[in-house]
Structure 1
């Protein structure tokens, strides 16, 4: 039996989710809601939707009254997530939500607990955790070929789109933080961030009281001693999507902009010879990666999670809560001019659901 879905929000990312779920043999898209009627018209034309079989509405409440649902896909601004997801879970629906889960870690934890109490699945679309190169990278790290892991660095820059609801930190950092956490199998216990505001100092928010930062430098400190630095900017025409983990015997490079070689293991180390240090064992290995759309895998895993009524541990509510805790601490660090913020609350036992 197909899983009956309603999709809330059909902007740029919502359109991709509509495309994937319409094509999925286990999904039945029965309703689409968006307060912007032009978005609904665009979606209807783009996918030749029949309004007699798929409800198109600007009010998601009307969906609950008119159609029988199993699950809700939330692709609305993050500031709206908490109330929408809470209402959906209380109504007995499974939920797939765009990242971040909410803008408040306490709200995230509340929703995670609510999903468990309702025996409904809450999964978050942290798309990179379903990327074939990221998963191959995790396997490579686990082989030990990098030696002792030392540090990491990442760059995520481009020229727009410039968000007007959150800063570059909340827009961009979650991707690289989630990859580092996934590859290392641990979470940072201290964080630090500094940024610059050039474009929108007139848009203060509770998370960014001085305006929306356009460029941010993030530092993550992990309990193992590993340290990662991330460069984020949405007004830099040098588009980069590159993340590296450096060990004592090599570096693993994930470069999303390199279509032919997105994942490379660059091996090498230095060895002492007398008073000198000499490079040794230098070798480049291109790691083969299967071509697949990560978002399709997200949709597959969500539908499977609903069918089996079993959490997707890769991108569960707990994973999402920890990421929002990290982002919140980084925002606090920016407010405090780059102060190092401890994250003792990220210990696993503080996030138990009972």
Structure 2
């Protein structure tokens, strides 16, 4: 890219696409030159909300925008099932890509897209927003000092009443966040998984490949890491008890990330056992709220994408291969769920 300002087109202005577009429009280093939204009935609302001029290229014609040589980069915020053809075409046309998670729903497709990006000399960055969250970054810094001692296990709960997606199940939509955090904090990826779930709302959304009986509304997952660490995750979009809480437990304490605690989202709880005869006595009990620097994670994602493009350097945080590794885990989880909770190797 030789221009001072990156000329970007965004695909999709749904729930998350709204946030992406807001951030890109606010960045001085970006010219948003087109927005592709297939729901033409929403065009007037989009123009009004984002103060787009009548001349601005708001269109449903994805092919024309992908073929436009004046477009340097694209941001993909469309349903996951549409990612592969859009990203493949963009990469073949020499455009840098920022894609909403998951990269695709298929491991082979993910690997092909990574190879295409490398072959065409363009950047492929995945919007795993939590990797740019100040709590996750600060949590990694805390863990580097090993205050938890020997790590033992982790747990996470992510529940709310919606939003219900029609393209992937709650497992794919929600657990990817917590898997991302565990992988990032541990510096490793699972070697095996198990999953069980229930379907209530969309049994009619069956897909033979990933969702043969419909889209699960709730799932309980276990991740097995090569170090021996294990994590359990509970996700549901059918539970009005909203929780977004993740913990890592060691033999000297627990680090907790609780998004519902706005004043203290990251807390280190210290404590360990001291043997006393046949008993074990809790000792060294303490609690510390970790200071978190203010920042908007999605803005950090957008700026990181621009830096990767400007410097012609693959992302060291959320690259195509990172997105591929996460899809491998999710595919294995779906296989386990479809096999009534059988342990499945991550391949």
* Contact 1:220 1:227 (C-alpha < 8 Å) held by counterparts: yes
Note the alpha carbon deviations across 1:166-189, whole angstroms, 9 max, x for none.
Answer: 111011110000000000000010
1:121 aligns with 2:132: no
- Aligned counterpart in structure 1 of residue 271 of structure 2, from 240, 248, 268: 268
Shift of 1:65: 5.3
Q: TM-score, normalised by structure 1?
A: 0.95
Quote the residue 2:99 is aligned against: 97
CA distance in 1, matches of 2:212, 2:66: 37
> Structure 1 residues 65, 117: closer, same or farther in 2, change over 3 A?
closer
149-158 or 37-46, which deviates more: 37-46
Quote the residue 1:135 is aligned against: 137
Shift of 1:261: 0.4
1:294 aligns with 2:297: yes
CA distance in 1, matches of 2:242, 2:120: 43
Q: Tell me how large the CA RMSD over aligned residues is.
A: 1.0
CA distance in 2, matches of 1:232, 1:11: 22
> 1:267 aligns to what SS in structure 2?
strand
> 2:317 aligns to what SS in structure 1?
helix
Quote the residue 1:351 is aligned against: none
* Contact 1:187 1:222 (C-alpha < 8 Å) held by counterparts: yes
Give runs of aligned pairs for residues 1-354 of structure 1, distance below 5 A.
1-52=4-55, 54-64=56-66, 68-205=70-207, 206-343=209-346, 345=347
> 1:133 aligns to what SS in structure 2?
helix
CA distance in 1, matches of 2:148, 2:137: 16
* Contact 1:265 1:284 (C-alpha < 8 Å) held by counterparts: yes
CA distance in 1, matches of 2:68, 2:154: 51
CA distance in 2, matches of 1:66, 1:228: 45
Shift of 1:38: 2.5
Shift of 1:64: 4.2
Number of aligned pairs?
343
CA distance in 1, matches of 2:242, 2:144: 29
* Contact 1:30 1:67 (C-alpha < 8 Å) held by counterparts: no
Q: Which runs of 5+ in 1 are unaligned?
A: 346-354
* Contact 2:66 2:89 (C-alpha < 8 Å) held by counterparts: no
Shift of 1:271: 1.0
Shift of 1:129: 0.5
> 2:256 aligns to what SS in structure 1?
strand
Q: Which runs of 5+ in 2 are unaligned?
A: none
CA distance in 2, matches of 1:75, 1:64: 15
CA distance in 2, matches of 1:97, 1:299: 11
CA distance in 2, matches of 1:191, 1:241: 21
CA distance in 1, matches of 2:181, 2:17: 23
> Structure 1 residues 176, 64: closer, same or farther in 2, change over 3 A?
closer
CA distance in 1, matches of 2:154, 2:307: 33
CA distance in 1, matches of 2:66, 2:57: 11
